[in-house]
Amino acid sequence: MFLNGLDDLDQKIVQLLIENARMSYSEIGDKIGISRVAVKARIRALEKRGIIEEYTTIINPQKIGGAVSCYFEIETTPESFNKVIKILSDNDIITQIYRVTGKNKLHVHAVASSGEEMEELLLRVIDPLPGIISSSCNMILSRIKDIKGLRL
């Protein structure tokens, strides 16, 4: 896939960082045929432009004993939409919130340390949300495919 504003070298750098964000400037330079200094300058430029947002460690909740991962589909009334977003955003168990197609619809992901903690989230946060038209919860049983970032 070609992205406007990314030349061939930038695309190669981004692809290598997607595969291994801990790869050194020297390793990247060796793989794509430019100097370590040039790689560093290009990565800094990609960060400054907001193309690369962050480097992070991703934990698989299914590999941690007792962790429960669920996603919710929530539809609200228009007047409650922003308040619902605020309530969900302020909760540490909620890991992602996406606005999806359809009027005032949200896709929400949560990771709790136990089934009891997830039930507590449902009882104390999700169920009492204001202006809810519909809400559903699905527990994630296993990760089959989970691509991080954009594939070039």
pLDDT 10s digits, 91-109: 999 999 999 998 889 999 9
The DSSP code for 50 is T
SS3 51: coil
Contact 69, 126 (CB under 8 A): no
Distance between CA atoms of residues 69 and 74, nearest Å:
16
Task: Give the domain 61-139 fold.
Answer: Alpha-Beta Plaits (3.30.70)
Task: Give the domain 8-48 fold.
Answer: Arc Repressor Mutant, subunit A (1.10.10)
- In this structure, which amino acid lies at residue 21? A
Residue 72 Cα distances to 39, 106, 111, 129, 137, angstroms: 41, 8, 11, 13, 4
Q: What is the pLDDT of residue 1?
A: 46
| Stretch 139-146: mean pLDDT | 82
Distance between CA atoms of residues 52 and 49, nearest Å:
8
- Nearest CA to 69 among 77, 59, 78? 59
Rounded to two decimals, the pTM is: 0.65
Domain boundaries, the chain: 8-48, 61-139
pLDDT 10s digits, 7-37: 889 989 988 998 888 999 999 999 999 999 9
Q: How is residue 73 written in tokens?
A: 């589909």
Q: What is the pLDDT of residue 62?
A: 64
Residue 6 Cα distances to 9, 17, 24, 56, angstroms: 8, 15, 20, 22
Contact 62, 130 (CB under 8 A): no
**Largest CA-CA distance found in the chain, in angstroms, rounded:** 57
Q: Which helix (H) or strand (E) holds 138?
A: strand 132-139
pLDDT 10s digits, 53-69: 888 776 666 666 778 89
Q: Who has greater pLDDT, 127 or 146?
A: 127
